[in-house]
Structure 1
């Protein structure tokens, strides 16, 4: 059974070993996986229907796609062609715009920090409904990138002036900063959780120098994740929660194309193996 594993080139260069693991584990399960870069692809439609090309050759006779690009339009193209995509285009769409993510989670009743979308073209910095300092995020950022803390209106205006973006997401600052929990999900099931914390940054991301330790979810915390999974079937994601000053979970982000170096370091959970086993099982059942 043939399939494609698709990365953005920059991400592929950072994750070559992980991509190779997916390909090798795929062989063990009878899956022939070709790894390709998004920048080498084209997609479109004509009178015969939808098409995708890799290096100017039309994609044919594939059964599945592992989409690690964070591009929902790519996943939707393959789905419309009748090809199974991991993660689905719906997951990719929701997870890769923080505004859409918070709309979805808040619609499920998940506790969140006060958050609003800010559009510099027609909104004034005096219209922010909460006090400084607060957090400013790019809706499409990931891995802790393009996340800023602004202490006052001048800093906010300087940020808007130097970063030309159509929209931002702004969020009140949690009273207890620099600590969160990432829950890893494969095949719509929880496979592990880690606590991330930092004493030098309000962001706790491992890739930004944060510290990590294993975390055991409480029953009510597991139920928060399972509630989300009942409404959104996820093949492989990370669900992030801020821990407030009372120790309660506050929903923060849904991470598509999630990295798992921290989980393997602490718990030796081989997410590549688990992901391929899930994919093989899902394809057999389809």
Structure 2
């Protein structure tokens, strides 16, 4: 029997790139004879009661065989899991990927190469009268200047700041009070360039090199260019290991060019958009994601 699926994207964000990702997955599923429906996360309300968990306006026997998440609504993802529906990526993978501090902790625990990172102490309430600073002397002695300050939550290269002076550092910390963030070693050898590698299951399916003209960040949405890239075996291995470290089924892994060309993990995106990869490489990652998903749910039955 052909499998049915739901594809969920964020219904509260501007632009059509999120819906476009969902459509790419739907078209790939159709090619595999799997019927899917696309939903905004705002259309699906998770009900919790003393004797039931439910998706409102959906009969229990109408739930799909699988759910593909292109969103970060981890509570909705968890609701489906508790209802027995396989979710790709899992709520746990979404949770770790969405939080860059949690991501780096998992990478460090797995002993994978990353820029040296210091987690800023948590400040719960912004206090402009009495700004609280961590031990900046130790931070600078450990990481050097310039350095990167990176918020735990953010997308498209935003919420990432290149800090060049102590004064800039103090101002940025004051600005970020109340938000989780980290201090990170600046990888000069990767200024304005990185690699995006798409992993599905145990394989690398596509990759591109991104380069900015006048920005330390290489994100295409921030004006960077892209070209098809053939990753080395160490880069492929690292991308797969990074994906597994956050328990993801598929992910877009960003690698930096470290000193002596040693790759370093910069970021892992559990819901990485794949349109740019298709336009750059001609490879439609959606087909690989659907093949992997259908294979997994077939093995689970």
| TM-score in terms of structure 2 length | 0.85
Aligned to 1:201: 215
1:271 and 1:59 map into 2 onto residues whose CA distance is 32
Shift of 1:230: 5.2
Aligned to 1:31: 34
The answer on whether the counterparts of 1:142 and 1:255 sit within 8 Å (CA) in structure 2 is no
Aligned to 1:187: 201
1:263 maps to which of 245, 254, 277: 277
Cα deviation digits, residues 120-174 of structure 1 (max 9, x gap): 6385154351233211111111221111112223323333444554311221211
SS at match of 2:261: coil
1:124 maps to which of 125, 129, 133: 133
2:6 and 2:240 map into 1 onto residues whose CA distance is 29
Shift of 1:270: 0.8
Shift of 1:7: 1.0
Matched, 1:137 2:147: no
Matches of residues 1-286 of structure 1 in structure 2 within 5 Å? 1-9=3-11, 10=13, 13-53=16-56, 57-58=57-58, 60=60, 61=62, 62-119=64-121, 121=123, 123-127=132-136, 129-130=139-140, 131-163=144-176, 165-176=178-189, 177-229=191-243, 231=245, 233-286=247-300
Shift of 1:31: 2.3
Cα deviation digits, residues 177-226 of structure 1 (max 9, x gap): 22211110123321022111223011011111112222222222222233
Distance change (3 Å), C-alpha of 1:36 and 1:11: farther
Distance change (3 Å), C-alpha of 1:25 and 1:241: closer
SS at match of 1:109: coil
1:151 and 1:228 map into 2 onto residues whose CA distance is 29
2:87 and 2:187 map into 1 onto residues whose CA distance is 36
Shift of 1:116: 1.6
Cα deviation digits, residues 231-275 of structure 1 (max 9, x gap): 555332111111023211011111111012332122200112222
2:156 and 2:23 map into 1 onto residues whose CA distance is 22
1:218 and 1:24 map into 2 onto residues whose CA distance is 31
Shift of 1:101: 0.6
SS at match of 1:83: coil
Superposition RMSD in Å? 2.3
The answer on whether the counterparts of 1:188 and 1:234 sit within 8 Å (CA) in structure 2 is no
2:247 and 2:106 map into 1 onto residues whose CA distance is 13
Larger mean Cα displacement after TM superposition, 118-127 or 244-253: 118-127
Equivalent pairs counted in the alignment come to: 283
The answer on whether the counterparts of 1:120 and 1:160 sit within 8 Å (CA) in structure 2 is no
The answer on whether the counterparts of 1:12 and 1:19 sit within 8 Å (CA) in structure 2 is no
Distance change (3 Å), C-alpha of 1:8 and 1:218: same
Q: 5+ unaligned residues in a row in structure 2: which ranges? A: 125-131
1:70 and 1:132 map into 2 onto residues whose CA distance is 33
